[in-house]
Amino acid sequence: MNAQRITLTDEDRLELLGQATSTARRNRPMGAVFFGVVLLGVALIFVFIGMARLASARSAAAEQARRTAEIRFLAGDVQAINNQLQGTEGRFDADPQAVSKLETAAREVGMSELRVSDAIVTGSQNPVGFTRRKYTVTLTNQPAEGILSWLGRAPTEVRGLELSQFRVAPGVGTPDGKPSWSGTVEFLRWERTGR
């Protein structure tokens, strides 16, 4: 083998260099790499957007869960109030017979010499549409058993009646020699006005 030396002109060298560069470019596809990098960038943008939306959705779901729990709690309170109000229809209606009911209940348990007066309480801050009525009962020489029985019975005779004050002191005594008590008892009752 004879090795001949081929001399190339400058033009041939430039042409050969251009062909080699072109072949090297075809063997290394930079466009595909660039396209892959761009595609990866777009995918990362979508991942970040998705993560932001997921965080926002989780926050909204947590807020909804909190509000749902609060609504359930309030609904439980409303149900409890409704359960308490069952059977209270008419509780706040004015009762013009309240004084006579208290006197009758006292007579039925063996009490006598009982005076009942009623008055509207003024100077207090009443809820709109309501007023407080005070029933003052004066006891004179009443037996303890009768007083206690009457105190237990009075709130069942007059709906919504609440014991406000109870002041008694030993009295003179009953005609049959038993100890007696004298004093005052006050009851309060809320009444609806304008109904």
**Token code pair at residue 186:** 């006050």
- Quickly list H helices, 96-180: 98-108, 144-157
Q: What is the pLDDT along the chain (195 residues), one digit of tens a residue?
A: 566 777 778 888 888 888 888 887 777 777 777 888 899 999 999 999 999 999 999 999 999 999 988 888 888 877 776 666 555 566 777 788 888 888 888 888 888 778 888 888 776 676 777 788 899 999 888 888 888 888 888 888 888 888 889 898 887 776 777 788 888 999 988 887 765
pLDDT of residue 1: 52
Query: In the chain, where are the structural domains located?
Result: 8-86, 98-192
Tell which CATH classification among 3.30.70.60, 3.40.50.1370, 3.40.50.1780, 1.10.3720.10 matches the domain 98-192: 3.30.70.60
How far apart, in whole angstroms, are the C-alpha atoms of residue 119 and residue 8?
131
Full strand arrangement of the beta sheet holding 114-120: 114-120, 130-142, 181-192, 162-170
Nearest to 147 by CA among 174, 110, 97: 110
Full-prediction pTM beyond 0.75? no
How far apart, in whole angstroms, are the C-alpha atoms of residue 43 and residue 9?
51
* Cβ contact 111:153 at 8 Å: no
